[in-house]
Amino acid sequence: MSYLVLARKWRPQRFSEVIGQRHVVRTLENAIRGGRIAHAYVFSGPRGVGKTSIARILAKSLNCQEGPTAEPCGTCRSCQDVQGGSHFDVIEIDGASNNSVNDIRELRTNVKYGPGESRWKVYIIDEVHMLSTSAFNALLKTLEEPPPNTVFIFATTELHKLPLTVLSRCQRFDFKRLTPLEIEESLARVCQGEGVSIEARTLRLIARRADGGMRDAQSMLDQVLSFSENTVVHEEVVQALGLVGQEKLDELLEFLAQRDSAQALRLARDLSSAGTDLAEFLLQLADSLRHLLLVQLDPQSASDLPEDALARLQELAPSFTQEELIRMLGYLGGQIEAIRKGGHPRLRFELTLLRLVRMERSMDVQDVLRALAGLPVERLEIPGGTALPATEKKKTLIAPAVPEPPVPAPPRPAQPVEPRARRAVSPPAEPASSVPPPIGKASPESAPCTLEDARRLWPALQTRVAEELPLLIESFRQLLPVELEAGRLVLKGEVGQGLMAERLEKERGRLENLFAELLGSAGPSFRFREGVLEDHERFLDTRRTHLDARSRFEELKRESPLVEDLFTRMDGKLLDS
């Protein structure tokens, strides 16, 4: 007798044996018990999760000698014929090879005749999305009003390809991927039934590599058993599946944590020389980085890992930031496909590892902008990979050069100011050669605000407004300071006279306070003026939003030599977040 593969030998034969699709099983069982059998069903979901198996079990339940029943006996002639694929009234059709309109016309002719041996005539059409448009159209009328005691069951992995006219005539069931734990438990029962000794970590590895498909997991287990005979050794399983041992992954993670490019290249050379599937290795690496991110975000989510692997990840987790891990995972996704489909896989693989090692050189443009505006930042890398504390960053990145002692200007007559803008005026300060206080730190000796000060601080003020008053930023970004008159800063723009204008006026006090914090002293009051900005008033492009990092950064590079110099020295590349 020919060998029967595990995927067929251990196919579920009753609803109680189905794994992971409880929502589908429960609905069908209740429908059978209540006599509410629909004339058409659509089973959609990933490959190998039980769509065809449940379709056959439903056919058994309807035609069992003891039925219709939610628990077919499995021993009567009808159940045996369905299980063997030879039942006269249960017709299985491959939609991929019977997809023409002529095939559907033949089906329409045959469906007119009722069941010959059983209660129900059941059509199971697999991969139904492969039918042509004409075939679907030819099926519509029969599908809407089929003969009595006729059931259509459509199985598909690509539900979006089915016409809405077909879906509206069917009951739809969405099958989900199985969890690694569900697959692992099922494989353990299979091994026990086959009399095979296997380690739990080996079953866990197969379950994770199956990507939610039971059939894939059983096929891999079949391959492993053929390789290892009756006693399965974990290292042999790794070799049989073309994977790389965990120690190589741990070694690479250590190189990434240490930013060691030379060792990462050595590892890439060793893996290429050993004939390793480089795309599969990157998949394993992505899985490890994902678990590193889970350890940082939600340690409970990574609890399904072995204790030794979890301890190792917890040890490495502090070496990476969440932003770095997210960028690494996003970058790996594109490179895996590029290595599989493109040429020069070894070169692409080496460049991928080098990019991952040097990922710390990327900086969030928002951190750069905040540092330039004198605001605190959480982390900012400088050449050499050293993260400076916030105070040191401020000195390194934005401290201006020591200016020459200013020439005292002749005194100007004081201008009257309105009571609302009245403030205490300090006596004129002595000329000094010391560095002026940084932006954001109040000083009683600060000079009065000028229009140039307001324009210089305006990008930073937009950032603060986005953080403190996010509902207001869309309107506030339309405004630009155009004039400073009598202690009032005139903000002009096209806001309108509606709700947003009222909200701006209502929050005027908070906006003035935010500006005063950036200025480092009591600032002017704001006055809003509705109108179209003239060309000479547009020192900043108000059409971009405060979250448009690229346009802001390019603008700052043009305006500030410091930004351009920093970007050049660090060999920077702006990454889209």
Q: What is the pLDDT of residues 412-423, one digit of tens each?
A: 554 444 444 444
8 A C-beta contact, residue 74 and residue 83: yes
Q: Supply the CATH classification number for the domain 448-546.
A: 3.30.300.180
pLDDT score, position 411: 53
pLDDT score, position 397: 41
pLDDT score, position 425: 42
Provide mean pLDDT across the span 353-377. Answer: 66
Closest CA to 346 of 441, 268, 255: 268
Q: Where is pLDDT greater, at 28 or 427? A: 28
Q: Which CATH architecture has domain 6-174?
A: 3-Layer(aba) Sandwich (3.40)
Q: Hey, which of 228-237, 435-444, 517-526 has the most confident mean pLDDT?
A: 517-526
pLDDT score, position 30: 94
Mean pLDDT rounded to a whole number for the chain: 79
**Long-range own/partner contacts, residues 549-555 (CB < 8 A, 24 or more apart):** 549/365, 549/366, 549/574, 549/576, 549/577, 550/365, 550/574, 550/576, 552/365, 552/369, 552/459, 553/365, 553/368, 553/369, 555/459
Q: Hey, which of 161-175, 444-458, 515-529 has the most confident mean pLDDT?
A: 161-175
Provide mean pLDDT across the span 318-333. Answer: 85
**β-strand pairing of 381-382 with 386-387:** antiparallel
CATH of 180-240, one of 3.30.200.190, 1.10.3720.10, 1.10.8.60, 3.30.70.270: 1.10.8.60
Instruction: With a cut of 70, say whether residue 393 has pLDDT above it.
Output: no
pLDDT band at 382 (very low <50, low <70, confident <90, very high): very low
Domain boundaries, the chain: 6-174, 180-240, 246-361, 363-396+549-577, 448-546
Write the DSSP assignment of 381-433 as a string of letters.
Answer: EETTTEEPPHHHHHHHHHPPPPPPPPPPPPP-PPPP--GGG----PPPPPP--
pLDDT score, position 535: 76
Do 180-240 and 6-174 fall under one CATH topology? no
DSSP, collapsed to helix, strand or coil, labels residue 495 as: coil
- No. of H helices and E strands in the chain? 25, 10
Q: How does pLDDT run across 58-91, given as a tens digit for each residue?
A: 999 999 988 789 999 888 999 999 988 889 999 9
pLDDT band at 39 (very low <50, low <70, confident <90, very high): very high
Provide mean pLDDT across the span 517-530. Answer: 83
pLDDT score, position 337: 82
Q: Supply the CATH classification number for the domain 246-361.
A: 1.20.272.10
pLDDT score, position 540: 67
Q: Lowest-pLDDT range, 34-38, 180-184, 312-316?
A: 312-316
Q: How does pLDDT run across 253-264, given as a tens digit for each residue?
A: 888 888 888 998
